[in-house]
A = this chain, B = another copy of it.
Amino acid sequence: MKRRDVLTAAGALALTGCASEVSECQSSAGGDKQFNWKMVTSWPPNLPGLGTGATKLAENIEAASGGRIRIKVYAAGELVPAFEVFGAVSEGTVEMGHSAAYYWRGKSEATQFFTAIPFGMNVMEMNAWLYYGGGLELYRELYEPFNLMPFPAGNTGIQMGGWFNREINTLADLKGLKMRIPGLGGEVLRRAGGTPVALPGAEIFTALQTGSIDAAEWNGPYNDLTFGLHKAARYYYYPGWHEPGPVLECIINREAWAGLPADLQTIVAIACSALNDQMTAEYAARNALNLRQIKQEGKVEIRPFPDDVLSELHRITGEVYDELAANDQTVAIILESFSTFKETIGEWTAISQQAYLNTRNL
């Protein structure tokens, strides 16, 4: 906090110093106006990957702008709770937020398509849809009535299926399964006979250990080990069918965005895209290291879900989508774009990424 306070104070001085002589001070970079912004996030303080990524985004914007934008980053709860990031930026309490669109399904079920949906697109496919398939336009249109400008800004890559203290050998094993799994994944589990439970990340370990839940998904090896989940479960199932490539978002209040000169807008935009690039790489590298650690400790069995279980979860997912689309025109439009793009790019993925991975170790 201290270093940030110093930075903010210096920023305020620079603003004062320059405002009085703005004509002499005008630089080729579009003016010396000083912006002191706040970024609220949905992440615990310094959470590796998500929290540190948000901080890195702020640092890159500050550095690239030569300090013309200074951004004070707040962990969840420091200024607003984790799930009030959207509202705080929308109302202009703060200029900026770092979070995930699917947390805002209370505002619109359609938000979920911009993070991850069960059996949806993977990281590369999501980015292709967002940047080159019309996804980002739909995302921005959806957020405009909320006075928000969204940018993809990070990705955890596909997650794991979760930590289990009960074996999943057949569909019947899902009946009565009490599992911490939020959102659409939870709804799919419910229809398969399970009981989805809502729990904050920090409470998962105890709930698993005491047996008050049978299973829990959080993220993947990188973030799961932070909570010690590998010490509270017997099985670690894959793949993470419910979140195949979750996109993180940077959201900016539209007035704050419009108030930035063009050069600073470009800096913010490319800094978000750079975080998208870097965070995906970070999760891949760190997930791999932590997976090794789990294997070396040898206390958890790493297992695939049976094919027929995945197949049934997939079938149910289709039902859920159809119902959402039938009840909500916005969902219907976005689902149509998403599904059409997924089908087209899926054919390419099959003969490129997938075919390569399946033959690489022949």
Judged by a CB distance under 8 angstroms, whether A115 is at the interface is: no
A residues 283-327 touching B (CB-CB < 8 Å): 284-289, 291-292, 295, 302, 304-305, 307, 310-311, 314
Comparing A100-108, A190-198, A343-351, the segment that makes contact with chain B is A343-351
Q: Give Cα A349–Cα B353 distance, bound, in whole angstroms.
A: 11
Q: State whether A362 touches B288 (Cβ < 8 A).
A: no
Per-residue 0/1 for A246-270: is the Cβ within 8 Å of any B Cβ (1 yes, 0 no)?
0000000000000001110011011
Across the interface, A132 reaches (CB within 8 A) one of B63, B157, B286, B351, namely B286
Judged by a CB distance under 8 angstroms, whether A112 is at the interface is: no
Which B-chain residue is minimally distant from A283 (CB atoms)? Answer: B128
Copies of this chain in its oligomeric complex: 2
Judged by a CB distance under 8 angstroms, whether A51 is at the interface is: no
Q: A288-B348, A358-B358 are in contact. List 15 more A-B contacts (CB 8 A).
A: A27-B27, A63-B266, A128-B282, A130-B281, A238-B352, A273-B273, A285-B345, A287-B352, A291-B347, A291-B351, A292-B344, A310-B362, A311-B362, A346-B360, A349-B357
Judged by a CB distance under 8 angstroms, whether A359 is at the interface is: yes
Residues from chain B with Cβ under 8 Å of A361 in the complex: 346
Judged by a CB distance under 8 angstroms, whether A244 is at the interface is: yes
Distance in angstroms from A225 CB to nearest chain B CB is 13
Which B-chain residue is minimally distant from A123 (CB atoms)? Answer: B124
Per-residue 0/1 for A16-33: is the Cβ within 8 Å of any B Cβ (1 yes, 0 no)?
001000001101111010
Q: Give Cα A291–Cα B27 distance, bound, in whole angstroms.
A: 48
Q: State whether A132 touches B281 (Cβ < 8 A).
A: yes
Residues from chain B with Cβ under 8 Å of A122 in the complex: 353, 356-357
Comparing A65-73, A88-96, A174-182, A330-338, the segment that makes contact with chain B is A65-73
